[in-house]
Structure 1
Amino acid sequence: MQKKNTRMSFLNRHRYLLAGILCLFGMCLLSAQDKKANPGAPGKKDSVAVGQQKADTSGKKKTRVDLLYADEAQADKQLRPDVQVLIGSVRLKHDSMYMFCDSALIYEKINSVEAFGNVRMEQGDTLFIYGDYLYYDGMSQLAMLRENVRMINRNTVLTTDSLNYDRLYNLGYYFEGGMLTDEDNVLTSEWGEYSPTTKLAVFNHEVKLVNPQFVLTSDTLKYSTESKIATILGPSDIVSDKNHIYSERGEYNTATGQAELLDRSVLTNEGKKLTGDSLFYDRNLGYGEAFNDVRMNDTVNRNMLTGDYCFYNELTGNALATIRAVAIDYSQGDSLFMHGDTLRLVTYNLNTDSMYREMRVYHKVRAYRTDIQAVCDSLVYNSKDSCMTMYYDPILWHGSQQLLGEEVKVYMNDSTIDWAHIINQALAVEQKDSVHYNQVTGKEMKGFFVDGDMRRVEVNGNVLVVFYPVEEKDSSLIMMDYTEGSFLKMLLKDRKMEQGTFVGKTNGVAYPLDQIPADKYRLPSFVWFDYIRPSSKEDIFNWRGKKAGEALQKSDRKPVASPRNMHIKRNNK
C-alpha cells in the first residue's frame, strides 16, 4: 500500500512537472509572438506615449511618433482603444522632427497624429512650419497643414492655406494658391513646391514674380532661392520701366539682372524689338546680344537690322549687326535692303534735344531697292543732316542710269532721296543699247530728286558729254553729240536724259551715227559696271569685284579753251 502510494505520488509529480513545462512553453511562445508583432514595446509607458519602433511587411524600419509632453492625456479603451487625446502644450517627436500644438489626437495603430491650434513643426534650426491644423502620417512621413500655413527656411518664407510637406523627399507643395518670398523677390502662383534641401521651387498656373526692378509673369517657372535664378519653362513676360522681354525658355538672374533666353525670345525697348534664336541680356549694364536669325526692328523709325549676331546697348543707344548683316528701311512703300560685313549704329547726345545717330556699314556694301541700287566699300548715314556718304569706289544705279565717283553723298528728306552729290571723277552713264551710251563726266555732279526720281543733274568742272538724241515717235537714235564745257544742267524724265544746257565756254561736235570716230564712242573715264549691280535683295550677299583695268582713272585734262553755248534737246536734228 505504501509502495502504491509512493508510485502515485511520483506520477502526480510528473504530471505537475509536465503541466508546468507546457505552461512555460506556452508563455514563451506567446511572448515570442508578442515580440515579433511589437518588438521593443515600452510596457507601462504605453499609456502616455506611442512606442519606439515597428517593422512593416517590407522589412523597412518605421519609427513611431513619441509624445514628449502634454498637460493632460486621455484614452477611452472601450470606445477608441487606439486613440490618445492630448490637451495643453503638446510636444511630439518623430525622428528629427518636433511638433507642437494646443491639442492633438494620436492614432496608435496607424502611427498618425492630428494636431490643432498653434501648430508648429521644427526640423533642425533651419526649417519651421506653422499652421492652424496638421495631419501627420508617421508611416508615409507626410504632413498636411491647413489654414494660415507658413514654411520658413532661413530667409525664405512660403505662405499658403493648404500645404503638404513630404519629409521623405523634404518637399513642400501647395495647390490652392500660395506665395514664396525671399530677400529679393515675391512669387505667387496657383500651384507650387519648394525643397528646403535644394533651395529650388517650381510654380505653375498664373505665376507672378515681383522684383523692385521688374515683374515676371509666366505659366511655368522654376526658381532658386539660393542663386536667385528664375528658369523659364513656358510663355513668360518680364516687364520693367523701359523693357519688355518675352521668352518661352531660358534663365533670368534676378540678382544680377542677366538673362539667357532661347526659342525666339524677344527684347523690346522703347520701340526697338530684338529677336533671335537665343538672347543674352544684362539689365544693369543695359545691353543685349542675340544669336542666329536675329532681327532688331525699330518700329518708330521703321527700319530693321538683321543678321546672325546683333548687339544693342540701351544705355548708349549703340548697336551692331554682323554675319549676313542687313539694314532694312521700310519707311517708304518699297523697302531698301543694305548688306555689309558689319553694320554699326552709334548714338550721340543720347536723351538730349541734340541727339543724332550714325549708321556705319563696312565692308563690301551692297544695297538694293527696286528703283535704286548701290555698291561701295563702306558707308555712313548721319541722321543729323540726313546724309548718307559712300566711300571707296561707290556706284549708284537708278533705272538705266549709272552714277559713280570717288565719293558719293546722298541727302535724304523723310526717308526719300532729296539730292545726291558725286565728288571727284563724277561719271553718269545711261545705256541706250548694247553699243550706245549717254555719258557725262566732271569734277563733281549733283542730282536732284522728286518723289524718288532724279529730275535734274548739275555737272561742274571739266565737263565731257556724249549724248544721243532720239526720235520722238520710235525712240530711234538720231546722231551723237560730243561736247566739252565747264558747267552743265540736265533735265531727266522717266529716268532718261531729256535735255541738257551748258553754261559758260563749250566746245562740241555732232556726228551722224555712221560717222562716229571709234575713239568718241566712249569717254576716257567710261566704264559700265552692270555685272556688279545687285539684281535682288537676295543678291546683296553676293559680292562681285571690278574687273582688272576698270577702276576709275584720274584725269589730267586741261580746261576747255573755245567758247560755245550748246543747248541739247530731244528730237534736235
Structure 2
Amino acid sequence: MTIRNNNKGKYGGHRIILVIVLCLFGLCLVQSKMAPKKKPRTKTNERVYLIHADVLHYDQYGRNPNAQILNGNVAFRHKGAKLTCDSAYFYQESNSFKAFGHVRMLQGDTLSLFSDYAFYDGDNQMAEARNNVVLTHRGTKLYTDSLNYDRLYGIGYFFEGGRMVDKNNVLVSDWGEYDTETREAIFNYDVSLKNKKFLLNTDTLYYDTKTSLAHVVGPSRITSGESVINTTDGFYDTNKEVARLYGRATLTNKGKELTGDSLFYDEKTGVSRGYDNVVYKDSENKNELTCNYFWYNDKAGMALATDSAVMKDYSQKDTLFVHSDTIRMYTYDIETDSVYRTLHCYNRVRAFRTDVQAVCDSLVYNSKDSCMTMYKDPITWNGDRQLLGEVIKVYMKDSTLDRAHVINQALSAELLHDGKHYNQVASREMFAYFDKGELTGTEARGNVMVVFYPVDDKDSTLMGLVYLETDTLRMYMKDRQLQRIWTPKNSGTMYPMTQIPPSRYKLPNFAWFDYIRPVDKHDIFNWRGKKDGTALKTVTRHAAPLQQISGGQVSSVSVTAEDDKKGMPDNN
C-alpha cells in the first residue's frame, strides 16, 4: 500500500502517520475494553509436594524411568489441595503424577474428588479422573467414569455419561460440566432431570444447584402426574414447581391442552397463564378457546380469556364460533358428582355457525340446565328467519337445540322467497321448539300481532296478506315448512296482494338487522351496532306487590324492576 503526500508542507507526512497510529491505538483500546475478562491460563510455579509414601523407589530401566514409584498411603499437596491414593508415579520434572487406587482429592472443606485412577498436571492445575468418579461439592454429587477437573476455573467436565444428585433431584446426561464457583451445570445429549414429583427430558439443560432452577433449550418434555409440558425454551423451578415456558409451549392435563407463545404454570396452585396465540382445547367437551391472554386455575375450575377471544364448539357437525371482549368460566361443586360450570361472554358478543348466527351484548351459559341466556338487544338468525327480544334463552339437549324462549318485545321475522315481503310475529314472549335441531313449532303469548302471506302450493305465488291480533298463537312446522296455525280467538283481515294498505306491510316494531348479521367465522371480530332509533325501547315493568308488616299492620308495596335491580350484585 502506497501513501502519497500531496501536502507540500514540512510535516504533512508525519501528520498522516500520527493519525493512523492514534486510530490504531484507539481501536486496540476499544477492543481491550470489549474483551471479556477471563482468568488467564498461565503455568503455576508452585511445585507439587510429596507429603508421604510408605515405599519410594526408582525403576531406571523399566517403563517409567523418569518417575518416582510410590506405594502405600501416598499423599501430595498442591495449592491448597491434598491428594491421596494407594500408589503413584510422581514426575517431578513435569510437576505431575499418576495416582492409582482409592484416589482422593480434597480442596478446602467444600470439595472432594474420588476415583480409581487420576492424572494430575500441577502446572495447568488439571485433574483427569477415571473409573467410579465422584465429585462432591457442598450438597451436590456428580457420578461418572470420566471427569476432567480444571482447578484454575473450578469446572468439572464429564463426557462418557454422568449423574448429578442434589437434595431433591437426579440429573443424567451423556455429557456435561459443573462450575464449582457459580454452582451452575450444563448438560447435553439425552438429558433427564427427575425427582419425586416430575420427570424432565431434553437435549440441553442449564441447571443452577443454588436455586434448583432448570433452563431447557431445544425440544423438551416435563411430566408431572397427569400434567405434560412440551417446550423448546423454558425455565422450571424444581423447588417451587413453577414453569416459565417460551417458544410455543404446550401444557396438557386431564384431557385439556393449553398452547401459547409463552406459558407460565404453577404446579402447587394449579394456575397457568398464556400469552399470544393461545389455544385451549377441551377434548372431552369438544370445545376450543383461542385468545392472546388466558388465565386458568385448574384446581378451582376458573378461567379468563381476553384479547381476540374466540370460543369454538365442535360437538356438532359444524363448528360454532363465539367472540366477545372477555370470556370467563366458573366451576361449582367441583369435588362432587354435581359439578357444573357457567360461561360468561360479555361486551360485543358475536356468534357464527353455518346454520345459525347471533349477536348480543352479553351471554351466560349454564351447564347445569344446559341453558344459554343472551342479554341486551339479542338477535339470532336461522336461514331467512330472524328472532329478537329483550332476553333470549336457548336450551340444549345432548349438545343440540331443544327449545328457545324470547322474553319481552319478542319479534320473529322471515324473509320470503321474493326477497321483498316478510312473515312477522310480535308478542310479549315467544317459544320455539326443536327436534334433533330442526324447528317443529313456535308459540307466541301476550299481545300477539301477526303479518302472514299465504302461498299458493301450485306456483308458490303470494296469495295475499293476513293480519290478525290474538292472545296466543301456535304454529306447527315440518321440514321447515308451515303446516298449520292455531289461535283460541282472534280478529283479523285478509288483503289481496293488490289491496294491501301500506301500514299493514310491517308491524309497528318490525326491524330487519341483516346488516348486523355475521357472514362468516372471520366476521365475528367486526362489531356493527344497530342504527340510531332501531334499538329496543326501555320498558319499565312493575313486579307483584310485596307485603310488609309495619306497626302490626300488613301493607303492600309495589317494587319496580329498576328498584329490584339495585339489590343485585354486579355480574361483571
Alignment TM class, shorter chain as reference: 0.7 to 0.9
d(CA) in 2 for partners of 1:431 and 1:494?
A: 17
d(CA) in 1 for partners of 2:408 and 2:449?
A: 14
Does the 8 Å contact 1:191/1:204 carry over to 2?
Answer: yes
Letter in 2 for 1:195: D
- Report the CA distance between 1:207 and its aligned residue: 1.4
Does the 8 Å contact 1:293/1:306 carry over to 2?
Answer: yes
Distance verdict in 2 for CA 1:313–1:183, change over 3 Å: same
Q: Which digits, 9 at most, give the CA deviation of each residue in 1:154-207, with x for residues without a partner? A: 100111122111222211122222111111211111222111111111112221
- Indicate the residue corresponding to 2:8 in structure 1: none
Q: 2:448 aligns with which of 434, 445, 463?
A: 463
RMSD, aligned CA: 1.7
Q: 1:65 aligns with which of 43, 48, 63?
A: 48
Distance verdict in 2 for CA 1:554–1:290, change over 3 Å: closer
d(CA) in 2 for partners of 1:83 and 1:69?
A: 16
- The 3-state SS of whatever aligns with 1:509 is strand
- The 3-state SS of whatever aligns with 2:325 is strand
Does the 8 Å contact 2:465/2:500 carry over to 1?
Answer: yes
- Indicate the residue corresponding to 2:505 in structure 1: 521
Q: 2:424 aligns with which of 412, 417, 439?
A: 439
Q: 1:289 aligns with which of 248, 254, 273?
A: 273
- Report the CA distance between 1:139 and its aligned residue: 3.2
Q: 1:305 aligns with which of 275, 289, 292?
A: 289
- Report the CA distance between 1:542 and its aligned residue: 0.4
- Indicate the residue corresponding to 2:155 in structure 1: 171
d(CA) in 1 for partners of 2:209 and 2:105?
A: 21
Letter in 1 for 2:50: L
Letter in 1 for 2:128: M
User: What does 1:82-161 correspond to in 2, within 5 Å?
Assistant: 82-161=66-145
d(CA) in 1 for partners of 2:365 and 2:121?
A: 74
- Indicate the residue corresponding to 1:25 in structure 2: none
Q: Which digits, 9 at most, give the CA deviation of each residue in 1:68-101, with x for residues without a partner? A: 1212211234555421011111111222222111
Residue range with higher mean Cα deviation, 339-348 or 75-84: 75-84
- Indicate the residue corresponding to 1:75 in structure 2: 58
- Indicate the residue corresponding to 1:10 in structure 2: none
Does the 8 Å contact 1:458/1:489 carry over to 2?
Answer: yes
Letter in 2 for 1:487: T
Q: Which digits, 9 at most, give the CA deviation of each residue in 1:229-269, with x for residues without a partner? A: 01011211111123111111110001111111011101111
Q: 1:231 aligns with which of 215, 223, 232?
A: 215
- Does residue 272 in structure 1 map to residue 253 in structure 2? no
Which one has the largest radius of gyration?
1
- The 3-state SS of whatever aligns with 2:519 is coil
Q: Which digits, 9 at most, give the CA deviation of each residue in 1:308-341, with x for residues without a partner? A: 0011111101111100000100111100000000
Q: 1:485 aligns with which of 464, 470, 475?
A: 470
Letter in 2 for 1:107: Y
d(CA) in 1 for partners of 2:67 and 2:109?
A: 31
d(CA) in 2 for partners of 1:359 and 1:474?
A: 48
Q: Percent identity?
A: 52
Gaps in structure 1 of 5+ consecutive residues: 1-57, 557-573
Does the 8 Å contact 2:429/2:444 carry over to 1?
Answer: yes
Does the 8 Å contact 1:398/1:495 carry over to 2?
Answer: no
d(CA) in 1 for partners of 2:242 and 2:144?
A: 30
Q: 2:308 aligns with which of 324, 330, 336?
A: 324
- The 3-state SS of whatever aligns with 1:528 is coil
Does the 8 Å contact 1:488/1:500 carry over to 2?
Answer: no
Does the 8 Å contact 2:303/2:330 carry over to 1?
Answer: yes
- Does residue 449 in structure 1 map to residue 434 in structure 2? yes
d(CA) in 2 for partners of 1:143 and 1:118?
A: 15
Letter in 1 for 2:47: R
- The 3-state SS of whatever aligns with 1:82 is coil
Distance verdict in 2 for CA 1:555–1:317, change over 3 Å: closer
User: What does 1:530-549 correspond to in 2, within 5 Å?
Assistant: 530-549=514-533
- Indicate the residue corresponding to 2:169 in structure 1: 185
- Report the CA distance between 1:394 and its aligned residue: 0.6
d(CA) in 1 for partners of 2:252 and 2:336?
A: 21
Distance verdict in 2 for CA 1:521–1:197, change over 3 Å: same
- Report the CA distance between 1:396 and its aligned residue: 0.5
- Report the CA distance between 1:499 and its aligned residue: 3.9
User: What does 1:422-433 correspond to in 2, within 5 Å?
Assistant: 422-432=406-416, 433=418
Does the 8 Å contact 1:401/1:495 carry over to 2?
Answer: no
Distance verdict in 2 for CA 1:124–1:208, change over 3 Å: same
- Does residue 365 in structure 1 map to residue 349 in structure 2? yes
Q: TM-score, normalised by structure 1?
A: 0.84
Does the 8 Å contact 1:297/1:303 carry over to 2?
Answer: yes
- Indicate the residue corresponding to 2:195 in structure 1: 211
- Does residue 350 in structure 1 map to residue 340 in structure 2? no
How many pairs were matched up? 498
Q: Which digits, 9 at most, give the CA deviation of each residue in 1:1-21, with x for residues without a partner? A: xxxxxxxxxxxxxxxxxxxxx
Does the 8 Å contact 1:395/1:404 carry over to 2?
Answer: yes
- The 3-state SS of whatever aligns with 1:514 is helix
List structure 1 runs of 4+ shifted beyond 6 angstroms.
none
d(CA) in 2 for partners of 1:188 and 1:554?
A: 70
d(CA) in 2 for partners of 1:445 and 1:537?
A: 28
Does the 8 Å contact 1:525/1:553 carry over to 2?
Answer: no
Does the 8 Å contact 1:425/1:554 carry over to 2?
Answer: no
Q: 2:402 aligns with which of 414, 418, 425?
A: 418
- Report the CA distance between 1:494 and its aligned residue: 4.7
d(CA) in 2 for partners of 1:555 and 1:187?
A: 70
- Report the CA distance between 1:275 and its aligned residue: 0.4
- Report the CA distance between 1:500 and its aligned residue: 4.0
Q: Which digits, 9 at most, give the CA deviation of each residue in 1:369-413, with x for residues without a partner? A: 000000000000000000000011110101100001110000011
d(CA) in 2 for partners of 1:144 and 1:169?
A: 15
Letter in 2 for 1:443: R
Q: Which digits, 9 at most, give the CA deviation of each residue in 1:191-226, with x for residues without a partner? A: 221111111111122211112211111122111100
- Indicate the residue corresponding to 1:246 in structure 2: 230
Residue range with higher mean Cα deviation, 190-199 or 470-479: 470-479
Distance verdict in 2 for CA 1:62–1:472, change over 3 Å: farther
- Does residue 194 in structure 1 map to residue 178 in structure 2? yes
Distance verdict in 2 for CA 1:147–1:464, change over 3 Å: same
Q: Which digits, 9 at most, give the CA deviation of each residue in 1:266-290, with x for residues without a partner? A: 1111111000000001111111000
Does the 8 Å contact 1:399/1:495 carry over to 2?
Answer: no
Letter in 2 for 1:124: G
Residue range with higher mean Cα deviation, 334-343 or 237-246: 237-246
- Report the CA distance between 1:299 and its aligned residue: 0.6
Distance verdict in 2 for CA 1:494–1:400, change over 3 Å: farther
Does the 8 Å contact 2:363/2:373 carry over to 1?
Answer: yes
Gaps in structure 2 of 5+ consecutive residues: 1-40, 541-572
Does the 8 Å contact 2:43/2:123 carry over to 1?
Answer: no
- Report the CA distance between 1:425 and its aligned residue: 1.1
Does the 8 Å contact 1:400/1:495 carry over to 2?
Answer: no
d(CA) in 2 for partners of 1:474 and 1:330?
A: 40
- Indicate the residue corresponding to 1:566 in structure 2: none
- Indicate the residue corresponding to 1:408 in structure 2: 392
- Indicate the residue corresponding to 1:33 in structure 2: none
Distance verdict in 2 for CA 1:305–1:59, change over 3 Å: closer
d(CA) in 2 for partners of 1:134 and 1:555?
A: 93
